Amino acid sequence: MSGQRTRLVSSRRVFGTCLSSAILVLLGILLYLWPHMRLVELGYEHRELRTQRERLLQQRKEYEVEIASLHRLGRIEKMAEEMGLRAPRVAQVIYLRETADVDTHGAGR
């Protein structure tokens, strides 16, 4: 009976040693692969952000062109004419002088 017990204890010890070794090997593999997987993930993220940046820069250029076309004086004058507006006559223009006691920025309101 003591031989059987010794065999049982030693087989448990061998199983425990093998299990511990397998766990350590798997842990080592994970520690080795994790930075590489993270690097690949960051590469994909970098490419996606670069694509998004290029798309936003293109959109910005389109908006700048649109703003420039909207600010063209000829376009504004044409729209004013279509709305029935015209330039004021000389008699309609009133020039005001700025005085020190007048709040021109509306800060006192």
Residue ranges per structural domain of the chain: 7-85
Instruction: Report how far apart, in Å, the C-alpha atoms of 23 and of each of 11, 19, 20, 33 are.
Output: 18, 6, 5, 15
Whether the CA torsion 99, 100, 105, 109 is positive or negative: it is negative
Task: In whole angstroms, give the CA distance from residue 100 to residue 84.
Answer: 38
Residue located via tokens 């003591």: 2
pLDDT in tens, the chain (109 residues): 555 666 666 888 888 899 999 999 999 999 999 999 999 999 999 999 999 999 999 999 999 998 888 888 888 888 889 999 988 899 999 989 888 665 555 555 4
Model pTM? 0.46
Residue 98 carries which side chain, given as an amino acid letter? Answer: E
Structure tokens at 89: 């006559």
